[in-house]
Chain A
Amino acid sequence: MSDLLEVTDENFETEIMNSDLPAIVDFWAEWCGPCKMVSPVVEELANEYKGKIKFAQVDVDKNRQTPARFGIRNIPTLILFKGGEVAQMIIGAQPKSYIEAELKKLL
């Protein structure tokens, strides 16, 4: 559905937890309307922060372990990772300015 890196239960550890770059992961699903409000914003940010932050998404319908691992029970949820640790969780649809402010803290 987008240009974001599609991450699964299988490669989450390699792609995100062991990533050299800070990462932001968009947890979404096809059935989630508000997720479709957030994903375009994340994609815009992905273009603006290319090479500085890794942008990824996890389809929670196809991947059940990763959302459970982080206690996710609401989507959209964005998780920001730095050095293999959760730096911030953004739950629900938040505006671009808010997400960007949180992203900047990773750099």
Chain B
Amino acid sequence: MHDLIIIGGGPAGLTAGLYNARARLDVLLLERLAPGGQVLTTDWVENYPGFPDGISGFELMDKMKTQAERFGLKILSEEVAKLELSEKRKVVATTQGPKEAKAIILASGATWKKLGIEGEDQLMGRGVSFCATCDGPFYRDQDVAVIGGGDTAVEEAIFLTRFVSKVYLVHRRDQLRATKLLQERAMAQEKIEFVWDTVPVQILGKDGVEGIELKNVKTGSVSRRDVKGVFVFIGTIPNTELVNGQVDLDENGFVITDNNMETSVPGVFAAGDVRSKLFRQIATAVGEGAAASFSAEKYIESLGEGQ
């Protein structure tokens, strides 16, 4: 029986792990891949305090991991297959067997949302991408489309201009949601052409993306752009399949917690992108990870000896 199992090795999970390892709890962090989370797809992080010139997503996460491990956090590369969460018993079944803990912190994050249109699944990996920093360089001197209008979409569109000849930034509204600084940069970038009030209808191509069919939501008119790549950044869906039906979720499937990060099940906490909230940042994930670690520690203490 462990004191605590943390599920997910992004900023929230690693921060909780750092705090709980320093509290000398018997804590285990499970991560299905190598630690880092979605930050690893970020080329350059400019809004995490302490790095005035910015820091690469990989380097930041590598530092967080090293820091947590320095205090004894055990990180296992195991995928959770099943979770059994109740007030009395918390069992985590991984591909390597079951483990039990007194408390759980869910920091399983979120995954990119798909468009759900024709051609998307068929051309995944053949022009359809969810990671500009991974795949951008394959589109040197070609035209691509970026779908979305939030921070990620705009940031990735700007990143892509290093390689591609043109980026169509396709957004369903007539203005961006992205933070003002990013908007200014995008507007100043000649390679970016904004396609407002527009949604993608179909991704075209057989063995690879050859174009995208677009529809203007105001006029209803349909048009086509000959692009070789389509980068999708329209938000995220929470990684909560394993806890669905066990802890309370909001209407979009994110985990509902109180101010102390506790879920509807005593002893089960949540932090980071998986949590129901408005703002998803590295800084907020780190703060919630610290708060969840404190609440988990108090909870474990409250169970007393002999449990």
Contact = CB atoms under 8 A, between A and B. Distances in A.
Given A33-B57, A95-B79, A96-B79, A73 B129 contact: yes
Contacts of A29: 137
Of the candidates A32, A38, A44, the one having the most CB atoms from chain B within 10 angstroms of its own CB is A32
Interface string A71-91: 111111100000000000101
A39 B56 CA distance: 18
B36 A73 contact: no
Contact of B126 (A32, A37, A73): A73
Given A34-B134, A41-B33, A73-B229, A97 B127 contact: no
A36 B58 contact: yes
Contact of B33 (A38, A61, A73, A74): A38
Main SS at interface, chain A:
loop
A40 B58 contact: no
B135 A33 contact: no
Interface string A13-34: 0000000000000000101111
Nearest to B34: A37
Given A36-B34, A37-B33, A31 B137 contact: yes
B34 A40 contact: yes
How many residues of B sit at the interface, in one of the four size bands? 20 to 34
A41 B77 contact: yes
A76 B127 CA distance: 14
A52 B125 CA distance: 28
B135 A73 contact: yes
Contact of A33 (B58, B124, B139, B208): B58
Interface of A: 29, 31-38, 40-41, 44, 60-61, 67, 71-77, 89, 91-97
Interface string B205-240: 001100000000000000000000100000000000
Nearest to A101: B95
Contacts of A31: 43, 133, 137
Nearest to A93: B33
B134 A33 contact: yes
A85 B160 CA distance: 33
A36 to B, nearest CB: 6
A37 B125 contact: no
B182 interface: no
Contacts of A71: 126, 207-208
A6 B156 CA distance: 30
B135 A75 contact: yes
Contacts of B125: 73-74, 77, 89, 91-92
Given A37-B33, A97-B79, 18 more contacts: A29-B137, A33-B36, A33-B40, A33-B41, A33-B56, A36-B58, A37-B34, A37-B36, A41-B33, A41-B34, A61-B137, A72-B138, A73-B127, A73-B229, A74-B138, A89-B125, A91-B124, A96-B32
B303 to A, nearest CB: 32
Interface in B125-177: 125-127, 129, 131, 133-135, 137-139
A32 B138 CA distance: 12
20 contacts: A29-B137, A31-B43, A32-B133, A32-B134, A33-B40, A33-B41, A34-B134, A37-B36, A37-B40, A60-B137, A74-B124, A74-B125, A74-B129, A74-B131, A74-B138, A75-B135, A92-B125, A94-B33, A95-B33, A96-B78
Contacts of A32: 133-134
